[in-house]
Structure 1
Amino acid sequence: MDNKKIFFSIIMPVFNTEEYLNKAINSILNQTFKDFEFILIDDNSSDGSYNICLEYAKKDKRIILMKNDRNMGVSATRNRGLDIAKGNYVTFIDSDDYIDLEVLFKVYDKIKSMNVAIDCLKYGVVEEYFVKNKLEYKKECSLSNFFSENKNEIQNEILKLEQIPLFGYSCNSFYYLKIIRENDIKFRNYSMNEDFIFNMEYFSFIKNFCFMNFLGYYYAKRGNNSLSSKKQDNYYELHMMKIDKFLNICNKSNNLTQENKELIYWMYVRYIYSTIERNLSNKDYLINLINNIKKEKLYNQFLLVEFKNITMKQKIMIYILKTQKSKILIAFVKLISWIKNKLPIFFAKIK
């Protein structure tokens, strides 16, 4: 690697993904835009992932290969990459996913065409759904092109992106490394929502934001083994923190419009349903959980929200949650969970 200023730093944490790693790495090395450094960090894998990384590092000088002495998790591993990154912009790619070969060129071209330095740029994602290792369905996640230097307009766009969700991802994002360094922004060690928390902290320091309507990142949901089907003890608390942050930001800037209120509280509904699904196996705990949710300030605020621009699916979910009948709510979540597990492709299409 020579001493000239690098334009992009690409950070890829690796942990036990030997089955997908070659495709992920090749999608970086074969980019049509070549001015980047590729920071590969093995998080103490127990499979052959590190050896795969080592073989690539021997052949390509753009690769900086590191290995953790112990398993540190994705947040700490990404932070190690941030500590040594030298590019103007930094992005993160997961080691079991991949990107289009034109991503870096399209982003570079956009950044160079602007009259100001872009503080953050995001782009669209394709979710790939696999059943028994066979790709069965693709779902495109994107919005229209967007650029703004207005705080309220940026807030509005963030709320729209999070509905898809695209805001919470770090892997479809390019960050201005100068902002990260000057404000000591790091990934925090949470069991989930690390990307969202990082983005919220980062966005508090930016002056402008750009979204490009092209599908560049391929995010693979492999069968029913994703985190969405597993129970996390702090899932509810972390996602209520999301809602609180969005409400506080909009209130502080006098931007809690009817549209934004509906977007935020629809997220709230989705998180409540997910919380219930994660606890369906523990009936006594679940009843107590729902009773406690109904006593909280957020739930009482939700009851007062008048939803106007919503779909039939949303109307049904909101109505059942507002009725306050726990048995009906649990039965409906059980039905959703059954569809999700037995008919995953159908669920992906309607969710």
Structure 2
Amino acid sequence: MHYLSIISPFYNSEEKCKRLLETLMNIKDEEIEIIFVDDGSTDDTVALLTAFRSESQVEVKVIRQENKGPGGARNAGLNIAKGEYVWFVDSDDDIKLDALVYLKNIYHKGYDFVDFNYISKGSICNSMEIESDSYKDMNTNREILLAKFGRIWTKIFKKDFLIKNNIYYPEYCIYEDNPLVFIYPFLCSKFLKSDIVGYIHHEEYSSITRCNPSPIFLDRLFTSVYGIREGYKLTSDINDISILQSKFNRLYLINTVGALMTKRPSKNWVMTYRVMKQYRKVAKDLKIEKGFREDLGENKKFKVYFLFHWYLSFLVFKDQTDFFEKERYKAWQKPFPENTTLSDKL
């Protein structure tokens, strides 16, 4: 009997995973299992994980698969997990073992998830920005989680809650967490916000989401579309739909433009116009009625920058769908399952 399965995806993580492995090696509770999923690494990551398995005092499973992205790795781990709860931990981050003791004392209460505080850049953060307490009213929970779901990796989820609701990560993409903020708020009947620190987020290693934009960076667009389509299936409430559309506007359009922002003319400006052009098409297809202007934030410089480029983007006349399809195919360098592209599936 396991009360927790820790699931970690690895992709060429030989250098950046050692800190997490050192922490996990200190786990001695046999009611915890550890699942490592190597997502097509070409370095010596697998050798490290295999050595860890031979030395660990708890059950360790090592899965090897072709590169499907972190979502595909997490799904593979979830499918074989035996724990009552699952915790998806990134290989370049770390956890606090106190969180495991805390969970063991309360997991029998059956919360859909337990959320911990985390440390980032030396500061303790509460990503949900709510008081530590148990939340058991589904209507109130929906309002809270729609307003601020917080970080996915600070949460330990009840496995049956995920399986029952068919909650899996989109595969062959990064930004795989983005769709879940459209989905979870409508399904959580009770959750616990803890006041202890459980997760340590590190940023010293390079990351696709923190580097200069590349073709794979554009996955943020496709996962946003996936998310709002799934959210639409779960509600017909006008206010809920308006909130989902605001989330979509921020994730697809505003945050992407912000990530591409440069002071001087650059290739990023061209990509910005492509994104804005495609947004108008996708927003029409998805019946996005919520305007994006009120979601631009309070930064006046960004507002001016955004609107300046928004009007210039109308000079882009060609439909950009084919461009983004080709970029995604190039990014993942392989055909997608069932002979279709991910964007077709989304």
Give the CA deviation at 1:99: 0.3
Shift of 1:96: 1.5
Aligned-residue offset at 1:90: 1.2
Q: Aligned partner of 1:181: which letter?
A: I
Deviation at 1:36, TM superposition (A): 0.6
Instruction: Tell me the distance in 2 between the aligned counterparts of 1:90 and 1:274.
Output: 33
Aligned CA distance change for structure 1 residues 160 and 213 (closer, same or farther; 3 Å): farther
Which secondary structure state, in structure 1, belongs to the residue aligned with residue 2 of structure 2?
Answer: coil
8 Å CA contact 1:43–1:73 kept in 2: the answer is: yes
Name the CA distance, whole Å, in 2 between partners of 1:207 and 1:28: 31
Work out whether 1:94 is the aligned partner of 2:90: yes
Matched position secondary structure for 1:222: coil
1:194 is matched with 176
The 1:288/1:180 distance shift into structure 2, 3 A limit, reads closer
Tell me, in whole angstroms, the C-alpha distance in 1 between the residues paired with 2:199 and 2:251: 23
Alignment of 1:16-35 (within 5 A): 16-31=12-27, 35=31
Q: Which residue of 2 aligns with 1:331?
A: none
What one-letter code is carried by the residue in structure 2 that aligns with 1:6? H
Q: So what's the TM-score if we normalise by structure 1?
A: 0.69
Corresponding residue for residue 281 of structure 1: 267
Partner of 1:51: 47
| Counterpart residue number, 1:339 | none
1:236 aligns with 2:215: no
Q: CA deviation at 1:76?
A: 2.7
Superposed counterparts of 1:328-343, under 5 Å: none
Shift of 1:223: 5.7
**In structure 1, how many angstroms separate the alpha carbons of the residues matched to 2:259 and 2:34?**
37
Partner of 1:133: none
How many Å separate the matches in 1 of 2:247 and 2:114? 22
Deviation at 1:83, TM superposition (A): 2.3
2:334 corresponds in structure 1 to none
Determine if contact 2:179/2:224 at 8 Å carries over to the other structure.
no
**Matches of 2:221 and 2:114, distance apart in 1:** 29
Task: Name the structure 2 match of 1:172.
Answer: 154
Q: Does 1:158 align with 2:145?
A: yes
**Counterpart-to-counterpart distance in 2, 1:56 and 1:6:** 19
Amino acid at match of 1:127: S
The alpha carbon displacement at 1:86 in A equals: 1.2
What does residue 134 of structure 1 align with?
Answer: none
**Higher deviation after alignment, 79-88 or 317-326:** 317-326
Distance apart, 1:319 and its partner CA: 6.2
Q: Structure 1: which 5+ runs fail to align?
A: 129-136, 329-351
Mapped to 1, the partners of 2:92 and 2:49 lie a distance apart of: 13
> Cα deviation per residue 1:229-270 (whole Å; 9 max; x = unaligned)?
323334334335546666x48963454499998777666764
With over 3 angstroms needed to count, the CA separation of the structure-2 counterparts of 1:272 and 1:63, relative to structure 1, is same
| CA gap 1:200/1:182 in 2 versus in 1, 3 angstroms | same
- The CA distance in 2 between the partners of 1:46 and 1:146, in whole Å, is 44
The Cα of 1:219 is off from its aligned counterpart by: 1.8
2: CA distance between counterparts of 1:238 and 1:119? 23
Structure 2 residue runs of 5 or longer lacking an equivalent are: 314-346
Identify if the C-alpha distance between structure 1 residues 224 and 46 changes in structure 2 by more than 3 Å, giving closer, same or farther: closer
- State the secondary structure of the residue aligned to 1:212: strand
Mapping for residues 204-283 of structure 1, pairs under 5 Å: 204-222=186-204, 225-229=207-211, 230-231=213-214, 232-239=217-224, 241-242=226-227, 248=232, 252-253=236-237, 255-256=239-240, 270-274=254-258, 276-277=260-261, 280-281=266-267, 283=269
1:8 is matched with which residue: 4, 25, 42?
A: 4
